[in-house]
């Protein structure tokens, strides 16, 4: 299940995407100004389009909360099909992936997360989806595939990727590699972050020389 921190990050990524892109989206629509009646028509259409997507997304969240799984899937699929270029589509895919994990439908969860990783224009959302995908793959015993996703830099999520890599290595019995990954996670963590649990994991490997 996603942490509170990750849910907040998802919401903030959506807000930031809209703030950074609404002008360019409107400007892009002006190219077809003659097709639907001028700039004001395009502006109204874009606002209406975004409001429609936003309402569907709110309905999806309500359906998930009410555990109306089929309704949530239908709403999410509509967002992905009709509003794929908006952050609401990626937000919907993340919600449906979380629902899939909770229901034990890991293949569906992995498919949703892969879609976000492949289609989101936002670095933060792609990293969030990739992190969750690595966790799902690990649950599916696809250890090597999961480890590949933890490699490299992942912006604000780098520490979480390193910690997950440590967890996977530790579960495989590679304590030295786990310690090295946890040390990398501590190094990448924000000074204000709560690293207590991570430090506990590292302390439990105090007798190990990192590889």
- Cα(119)–Cα(102) distance, rounded to whole angstroms? 24
Of 86, 109, 144, the residue at which a domain comes to its end is 144
| Local structure of 178: helix, strand or coil | helix
Q: What is the pLDDT of residues 161-183, one digit of tens each?
A: 999 999 999 999 999 999 999 99
Residues 102 and 126 in one domain: yes
> Do 114 and 191 fall within a single domain?
no
The pLDDT value given to residue 85:
87
Note the pLDDT of residue 94.
96
Q: What's the pLDDT at 104? A: 96
Query: In terms of domains, do 74 and 172 share one?
Result: no
Structural domain for 56, as ranges: 4-144
Report the chain's mean pLDDT, rounded to a whole number. 85
- N-to-C CA span, the chain: 31
pLDDT tens readout for residues 5-27: 556 566 666 666 656 655 555 55
Taken in order 63, 67, 71, 74, the sign of the CA dihedral is positive
Residue 137's pLDDT band (cuts 50, 70, 90) = very high
Which of 103, 122, 144 is at the close of a domain? 144
Domain match, 15 and 79 both = yes
Residues 128, 154: one domain? no
The answer to whether 60 and 79 are in contact (CB under 8 A) is yes
The residue count of the chain comes to 211
Rounded Cα distance between 165 and 171, Å, is 10
For the stretch 181-189, contacts whose Cβ atoms lie closer than 8 Å and that sit 24 or more positions apart, written own/partner, are: 181/150, 183/210, 185/159, 185/160, 186/159, 188/158, 188/159, 188/162, 189/159
Same domain assignment for residues 96 and 159: no
Residue 35 pLDDT exceeds 60 = no
Question: How many separate domains does the chain show?
Answer: 2
Helix 123-139 with 87-102: angle, nearest 10 deg: 20
Judgement on whether residues 104 and 86 belong to the same structural domain of the protein:
yes
């Amino acid at each position: 299940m996603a942490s509170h921190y990750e849910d907040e990050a998802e919401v903030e990524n959506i807000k930031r995407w809209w703030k950074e892109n609404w002008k360019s989206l409107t400007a892009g629509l002006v190219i077809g100004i003659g097709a639907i009646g001028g700039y004001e028509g395009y502006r109204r259409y874009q606002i209406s389009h975004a409001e429609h997507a936003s309402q569907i997304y709110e309905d999806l969240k309500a359906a998930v909360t009410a555990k109306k799984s089929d309704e949530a899937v239908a709403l999410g699929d509509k967002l992905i099909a009709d509003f794929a270029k908006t952050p609401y589509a990626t937000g919907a895919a993340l919600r449906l992936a979380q629902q899939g994990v909770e229901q034990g439908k890991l293949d569906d969860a992995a498919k949703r997360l892969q879609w976000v990783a492949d289609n989101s224009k936002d670095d933060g959302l792609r990293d969030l989806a990739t992190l969750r995908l690595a966790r799902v793959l690990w649950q599916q015993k696809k250890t090597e595939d999961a480890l590949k996703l933890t490699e490299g830099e992942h912006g604000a999520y780098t520490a979480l990727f390193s910690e997950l890599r440590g967890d996977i290595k530790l579960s495989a019995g590679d304590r030295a590699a786990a310690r090295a990954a946890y040390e990398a996670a501590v190094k990448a963590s924000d000074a204000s972050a709560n690293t207590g649990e991570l430090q506990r994991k590292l302390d439990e490997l105090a007798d190990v020389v990192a590889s």
